[in-house]
Copies of this chain bind each other. A is one copy, B any other.
Amino acid sequence: MAGSVNKVILVGNLGRDPEVRRMNSGESVVNLNIATSESWRDKQSGERKEKTEWHRVVIFNENLAKIAEQYLKKGSKVYVEGQLQTRKWQDQTGAEKFTTEIVLQRFRGELTLLDGRAGGGEQSEYQGGGSDFGRSSPLEAPRGGGQARQPAATSSYAADLDDDIPF
């Protein structure tokens, strides 16, 4: 269809560490579980309410997949831009299921770490568009040895994210 737009913009926190799948082609595909939430005061009861929504993000964009793998961890706050895609699959009983995901296709989408201060001043923002754009040095000088990403500090917030993840 000439003239369509399919765009999702999320700012939220990872409910768990990124899941990395290595493809036969050598490329990686990274899955993120991202929580967004809203809070408000109920007009009737006066109570504070909060509702968390969980989003499944799939990163095929190679540069962004690398960055996700290297810099994101449970609890990280990120800006993500991708497109909606619903795919059909069958569970073990053969029942038809649908899953809607936010997909960052090859060369497309955006991913920006919003709390990058932790971890030593490294940046990790990257725009999906161009091959000559975005941060290159993190890719050239990746996480290196064992001093790397600490195993997902069980900070209070990250802990909150632990339950109720539907996927």
A interface list, Cβ under 8 A from B: 1-13, 35-41, 43, 48, 52-55, 77, 79, 83-86, 88, 95-100, 102, 105-110, 112-117, 122-125, 127-137, 157, 164-166
Contacts and interface: CB of A to CB of B under 8 A. Distances in A.
A112 B116 CA distance: 18
B9 A5 contact: yes
Which 10 residue pairs across A and B have the least CB separation, nearest first?
Answer: A107-B130, A100-B100, A5-B11, A2-B116, A2-B123, A4-B36, A108-B129, A6-B36, A1-B37, A41-B136
Given A77-B114, A132-B107, A166-B86, A6 B12 contact: yes
B1 A12 contact: yes
A162 to B, nearest CB: 14
Interface centre among A2, A12, A88, A106 (most CB of B within 10 A): A2
A6 B136 contact: no
A48 B137 contact: yes
Contacts of A131: 107
Contact of A2 (B109, B125, B128): B125
Contact of A7 (B10, B35, B123, B125): B10
Given A37-B1, A136-B40, A53 B6 contact: yes
A54 B40 CA distance: 31
Nearest to A112: B3
Nearest to A95: B95
A31 to B, nearest CB: 16
A55 B37 contact: no
